[in-house]
Amino acid sequence: MDLTLYKDTFTLGFFVLILTSVIACSFVIGKVSKAYTYTPSLRLFQVYFLMGSIGFLGTWLAVEGILPTLLGGSVVAYCVACATLYLGALNLYSPHLIHTLRVTALTLLCSVSAVTLGTIKAFVFIEAFFALMLFPYLFYALVRRGHFRQNCGTALLLLALFVVILAAFFQLGWLGLSEDIKFVFAVTVFSQSVSFVLVGLGVTTSLLIDEKKKMTELSFKDPLTDLYNRRGMERQFQKEPFRRSAFSIAIDIDHFKRINDTYGHEAGDEVLTKVAALLKSEVRENDICCRLGGEEFIILLAEVNVDIAMQLAKRLRTAIAAFAVNYQDQIIQFTASFGVAECLPQETLHALIKRADLALYQAKSAGRNQVVQAH
């Protein structure tokens, strides 16, 4: 059976498959990214897929003989796509772009060369040179950050970069050893198609995983104060340091209802937000700040003694008493009462908080604006 008769059909189908895959990746990432605050990286990734689609379409039209002059333009599209991939991946978790000027200069240089030189050998060399000028460093930077350990999407990005880098070395080596441009051109198209699909899967997966993490984190946080809610506090309390020793500090803003009645509930929310920020600024990074509900807060301290816990509670009491919230040109001053309890052996978190609450109620009964230790 002579299958060479179907060669052109296969080539056409292959290019259609590549083009469809790139367009599909572009469409998917566009839809997924709408759930995010728009960042420069997301915009760059969308440009990457757009230029990839243009590049593959131009290559297809050139290979089919419809518009042979488009091959140089396809190389330009490839360079722009690689530049946007580099900038997008390098700045994926950063609000500001770096390396923009050097990448822009390199892109212009290679694009002008592609337009000026008109041979397939020159095109392959330019693409390989451009990839090797950018992607080894990007590969190193992504590995060094270590995001691929928590996010398999980043691992797919690394795999895509590895494919492109490996193909670029092969392209340069083959150009120096052989005159079979047809074969190296096929390798170029194949490696680019694989890398484009891997990048699409990698970026989309990264966005979905990050979104899942963000939604999970939000379920453990109080939306007003950004402190942990009860569920988040219970999860954090399972960590090893709190199993060894822990203190609970219960905090309640004195006469909070009076603040709401006098200044309005929005003013009350402002007070809660400011107090939460004050608490977070005074505790250690591994301590837990939680809004238990209403105007009551809980701080969980790990691996401290009673003196340190009491000193912190007294310092917070003094800071809140000296604190004032400016709301619509009105100065709101208030105090808070504190209850401190040490976690007993085998005691549950619920029991620990209950004892801290009892000490807090004693502070309220004794006149408020006080710190009482549970016994």
- CATH number, domain of 56, equals 1.20.1070
Tell me which of 217, 251, 277 is where a domain ends: 217
Give yes or no for a contact between 356 and 339, defined as CB atoms under 8 angstroms apart: yes
CATH of the domain at 245: 3.30.70.270
Give dist(CA 114, CA 123) in Å, integer.
6
Pseudo-torsion of CA 40, 44, 50, 56, nearest 10°?
A: 180
Kindly list the distances between the CA atom of residue 94 and the CA atoms of 78, 80, 84, 202, in Å, as whole numbers in the listed order.
24, 21, 15, 18
Does residue 287 fall inside a structural domain?
Answer: yes
Same domain as 14, residue 161: yes
Give dist(CA 285, CA 289) in Å, integer.
10
Tell me which of 190, 217, 244 is where a domain ends: 217
What is the per-residue pLDDT for 59?
Answer: 80
Same domain as 135, residue 63: yes
Same domain as 236, residue 207: no
Same domain as 273, residue 166: no
Same domain as 285, residue 183: no
Which residue among the candidates 217, 266, 285, 295 is catalytic per the annotation? 295
Active site residue 295: yes
Tell me which of 196, 217, 238 is where a domain ends: 217
The closest alpha carbon to 276, from 252, 297, 257, belongs to 297
Does residue 301 fall inside a structural domain?
Answer: yes
Number of domains in the chain: 2
Give yes or no for a contact between 299 and 306, defined as CB atoms under 8 angstroms apart: no
Same domain as 236, residue 114: no
Kindly list the distances between the CA atom of residue 337 and the CA atoms of 178, 312, 315, 331, 370, in Å, as whole numbers in the listed order.
82, 13, 12, 20, 5
Does residue 264 fall inside a structural domain?
Answer: yes
What is the per-residue pLDDT for 1?
Answer: 40
Same domain as 58, residue 134: yes
Write down the pTM of the prediction. Answer: 0.61
Tokens representing 46 are 């969308």
Same domain as 248, residue 102: no
CA atoms within 13 A on the CB side of 244: 7
The 3 state secondary structure assigned to the chain is CCHHHHHHHHHHHHHHHHHHHHHHHHHHHHHHHCCCCCCHHHHHHHHHHHHHHHHHHHHHHHHCCCCCCHHHHHHHHHHHHHHHHHHHHHCCCCCCCCCHHHHHHHHHHHHHHHHHCCCHHHHHHHHHHHHHHHHHHHHHHHHHHCHHHCCHHHHHHHHHHHHHHHHHHHHHHHHHHCCCHHHHHHHHHHHHHHHHHHHHHHHHHHHHHHHHHHHHHHHCECCCCCCECHHHHHHHCCCHHHHHCEEEEEEEECCHHHHHHHHCHHHHHHHHHHHHHHHHHHCCCCCEEEEEECCEEEEEEECCCHHHHHHHHHHHHHHHHCCEEEECCEEEECCEEEEEEECCCCCCHHHHHHHHHHHHHHHHHCCCCCEEECC
Kindly list the distances between the CA atom of residue 351 and the CA atoms of 147, 153, 233, 300, 342, in Å, as whole numbers in the listed order.
39, 42, 14, 13, 11
Does residue 276 fall inside a structural domain?
Answer: yes
Q: In whole angstroms, how large is the CA radius of gyration of the chain?
A: 30
- Residue pLDDT tens, the chain, 375 long: 444 444 455 555 666 666 666 666 666 666 665 555 556 777 788 888 888 888 878 887 877 777 778 888 888 998 998 999 888 888 876 666 678 888 999 999 999 998 888 788 888 889 899 999 999 998 988 888 877 777 788 888 888 889 889 988 988 888 777 766 777 777 777 787 778 778 877 877 777 777 777 777 778 899 899 999 998 898 888 887 787 789 999 999 999 999 999 999 999 999 999 999 999 999 998 899 999 989 999 999 998 999 999 999 999 999 999 999 999 889 999 999 999 999 998 889 999 999 999 999 999 999 999 999 998
Non-local CB neighbours of 218 within 8 Å, separated by 6+ positions: none
Same domain as 238, residue 206: no
Structural domain boundaries, residue 305? 230-373
Give dist(CA 144, CA 234) in Å, integer.
33
Report how far apart the first and last C-alpha atoms of the chain are (Å, whole number): 92
Give dist(CA 309, CA 327) in Å, integer.
32
Same domain as 182, residue 294: no
Name the β-bridge partners of 297.
251, 291
Give dist(CA 236, CA 152) in Å, integer.
25
Tokens representing 69 are 């002059």
